Structure 1
Amino acid sequence: MTPIEGKNSAGSTEEFCKLEEDLKDSERRYRCLFEGSKDMIFITHKDGSFQDVNQAAVDLLGYVSKKDLMAVGSAEQVYDNTMHWEVFQRQIDREGFVKDFEAKFRKKDGSLLHCLLSGNAVWSKDGDVIGYQGIAKDITARMDAVQNFRQRHRELWVLNSVAFAMNKTHDLDAVLEIALKKALEVLGLAAGAIFLIDHDHTAYVMKKRYGLPADITETTSQIRLHDESLMNALLQKDLVLTPEPIFPPFKAMLKHQKKNFSVELTCFLITAKEKASGFLALDVPPDKDISRGQDFHLLGSLGNFLGGAIENANLLQTIRRHREELKGLTARLFHSQELERKRIAQELHDEAGQALTGINFTLETVEKELSSESAHIRDHIRDIKKQINRTYHEMRRISYRLHPAILSDLGLEPALDAYLTDISKHSGLKVDFKMVGFEDRVDPEVESVLYRISQEALTNTVKHANAGHFKLSIIKSYPQIIFVAEDDGIGFDAGNFSSHKQALGLLSMRERAAMLGGKFILRTSKGKGTRIRIEIPLKERSDD
């Protein structure tokens, strides 16, 4: 060997040693990154059998050691859906890599691990794919958060739909129908019903159903709770429940009373103010569980929400009933008052009027029999006769105000015309009056109400408005009678209506209109006069 050759040989050995050290250093850095990564890294052969895994893979998949994990045999076995492994392989075989492929892995305890999977091919010297290298980032927490968000969104969507229905209508049946359909849609169920508890009849009443056979109705079906003690307890009117966000579900059997049909339902209580109002009864398939998790909480929220809706509907129903009762009592009161006024007016005209006339005739007879020397007695008799005459005219005025005979005999327009003319004459108030569209007389009750409302409106104007002009219009415009009374007086603050001195008269007008199903509209402000508009459904005069 020449000196030059020896020198070259020594240089080659040094370069080889350096390359070997660099390779070992690179291997150490790779192993450090491989083992230190918090993401799952695995290397498999072409057939999917594990060649290597890092410690993060062992920890994330819940295995004891690498040996324990690699004993599984194939990466395919740890995928929740083997289709994901097949797609992973095909994508790398075709493109050489895969990036951010969403996949689920099944941990040793059976729970799922959501991951974003990236990978690339392991190549042979001949350029063939001989294996796969993958890295999976755990996104389970993120996916759970997204799932919770979606579930919360679904829950709010259901509750918002029910709230919208409650704002749109006070019809409880409509609210229950929307709630049932939305709940079934969100839960992915096909059938269910809502039962309310009728404490007065000690029974469960099916108010709404969906997806059940058409012949399953309130009258043809019967529901029985599996728990007899619970079934009896819920029907008790004095049952008091401790408030809870949601009560445990219970089972019930819905049966057709005549046909051989039955279905088991999973039920969730509807409660309000420590009372059970009813329950949601859902047809849940055996492979679906809604007794826990977000579905369970959704049904709890919906049960509480519907409980409030049912409570509000019951209160509104009670208010409507009381209003109808009050309207009926008011109508009877006004009717009795009108009859009493008519009776008193008749007695004043017939009895007291005739008595005063008789007294006047008697005084005239006495006056004729007096001697010429009794001039001072004649003067007294003339004074008495004047007083009797004034009393007679005042009594006729009172009688007319109580109940004008002209109203019964000739109708509303002549009666109002006479009344308004008289008031205008004595008060100096300019009055415009017109009635339009009345070819025939309307019902006596309507005539009486319109007369009294006109009286009240004019009285308020004369006493309180300090007005110079009063206008009254009564228009028959099918399907209603429109009453409009307006003045150019001082007006008042409509927002402080109840404390105003006209309040009693205005309330009387509103009540009289309401007892005929009418609508009362008041428009006024300080310094701008007052306008009253009343719309009364048209009621033709009865032949009776």
Structure 2
Amino acid sequence: MSSDHTKNLSSIHALSKVSIALSETLSLDKVLYKAVTQCIEICHFDAALVYFLEPPGDYFVAQHSYGIQSESSKQLQKLPTDFIGGMVMKNGKTVITDILAHHLQQRPQLEGFQSLISVPIKARKETIGVLDVLTKEHRDFSPEDISLVESIGLQIGVASENAKLFESVENVTTKLRELVTLNQRIASCLHIDVLIPMLTSELSKVFKADVLFLSQDDTPIIHMKASNKFDEYQFASDASVQCLWQKEGLTIHSYKKLPSRQKLDVLFGRFGIKRAEYMVFTYGVNNHALIIGKNQNGDWSTAEQEVMEGITKTITLALTNSYLFQEVEKSRERNSNLRALQTAAQERERQRIAGEIHDSINQSLSGLYFHLQYCRDEIEHSPDKVKAILDKLLSITKDNINELRQIIHDLHPLAIQKFGFVGAVDELVKTCSLQEIMEIRLEIVGQPIRYEPEVEIQLYRVIQECMNNVMKHSLASEAQITMYFEQSQLRIQIVDDGVGFEPYQQLRDNDAYGIMGMETRIRDIGGALSIFSRPGKGTKIVITL
């Protein structure tokens, strides 16, 4: 067998060993370690280094070295591209040279080595790095040596690309798991005071950027939570903030600091942000903005933008759920307070009725009893005197009957059974008018119809409550109740020319349990109640059923 054939077989065997070694792992560190060690062991070199070009291409970074003293290895860690490796990168061709004095002036770390082969590391036909192999003795490298090192360089390029791709896939998979977990945590968080700090903290980790969450209610003060030193920051609203709120909601907007002045420069400049992605969310009078910002002008990666798009809906849903949960909690609290007030009112009403029966009817009946005893004893001796007393007793009995009827009416509006719903309201208007506090009118439009007794009682109680409020609080000179019996609904309108009030302010201050009680009654029968009032402009209440 010829020596050339033997060399070829040896090269193929060596290259096969390198291929097997590089295929055993997808870890980039392990790939490069095996590459340099196999290169040295198989080709009988003394040292090897693998460099990769770092963006933007001004210098090389040594990823792995073997056979270099640790002190020299640190000095060789980062090299400019104006040495031999730069020529290889530029031309994509192998350079073979002896290490001369002028080389040592540029790279004194190579002292002790005599010969160098520098081959390109290529991936997808592009040079991405350099493989340097060194010998301590002068060596004339054979074509087989050069071909073998170049082949190893190509294999390192392919293996490193595969390792980077695998690492990228691993990173994406890990990021997806983190995002799924974050999505679940965000979607399940119902307390906005917990949700906002979690958003700023977690999104800051995901995007490696500053995350700000701005909030403004019906005041000009901006409340901000952030992932950096500005946490719990507050400042007054200005034109830049108003410009922010005018952006389209539920959409990701971009900001980039430009030479020309923009309205948002003031806002983002306050926090040193030069590049940002942000979204605006509005609920009622509350405005929010979630800002992911950087202090440099670098673009966001496609993956980052996709993550932002994907998480936008979750954040919007979480904020909406948080507000709805707040409303439910407030509603529960109001209902709880309302039930407590209703219970207290019922107890007071029972005490009032008991007091009225005790103070008026009970005492009156006791007086009747004693007077009747007296009349029974004296009827034979003084019939004329007894007759006068009996006349007086008849008058007292009549008053007691009227008082008893009023108490019964307060407990249950019998007028509805006697006169019907419209007639009962008419009786209520006449009774209120007898007090001569104001002029009250009732107008019926359309053909009246009857409802279930429970519905009519609830409607009657609400009208009764409205009239009591008008007479006690409105200071009105006149009021009117109008009932519109339309084809598909009943509409009742109660209007007064009194002092009026701010209904929503009372609701916010939890000072409108009478209003909430009326709304509850009407809602329970499938209707709706609306209140229109302003201080000094009177009040209009509309009930639809």
Same fold (TM > 0.5): no
Please indicate the TM-score interval, normalised by the length of the shorter structure.
Answer: 0.3 to 0.5
